[in-house]
Amino acid sequence: MQFPEITSFGTLLAFAQALEDTAHAHAEASGEDTAARLHGKRARRLEQLRQERLNEVVLQPLTGMAREEYLPPPEGPLPALEALIGRFYRDALRAGSGVLGGLERTFERFAAESEERARTGVR
């Protein structure tokens, strides 16, 4: 997966999709079918939102999110990846406050789901 520098809302969405694709692949490899379906669905939802709603804001500059803070380790337990994804969405909500173009509820839901899955061990 390619994880771009997070410099605009377009690259924020591309990074989010790469995280979801990584979690999907990790969950599939771990035999976590429920998690694999969830992350595949999220990646498709992010692509849909980018295409439908964010044409006017994808080039808006974004600061305060360093790519290195959100890069997933090559291997590790799925709950740790879920915690990282939850933190990414929470930080994205703060960084993009007021200009996410309708993504606030989606990011909030994704953060809450990942945080819960990290707490409960994913299943």
User: Which regions of the chain are under pLDDT 50?
Assistant: none
Beta-bridged to residue 8, according to DSSP, are: 61
Domain coverage including residue 70: 9-120
Residue 64 lies in a domain: yes
pLDDT value for 61: 78
At 61 the three-state DSSP class reads strand
Residue 75 lies in a domain: yes
At 19 the three-state DSSP class reads helix
pLDDT value for 100: 72
Residue 111 lies in a domain: yes
- The domain tally of the chain equals 1
Amino acid letter for position 104: E
Give the model confidence (pLDDT) of 106-119 as tens digits.
899 999 999 999 99
Residue 2 lies in a domain: no
pLDDT value for 59: 67
pLDDT value for 9: 82
pLDDT value for 121: 83
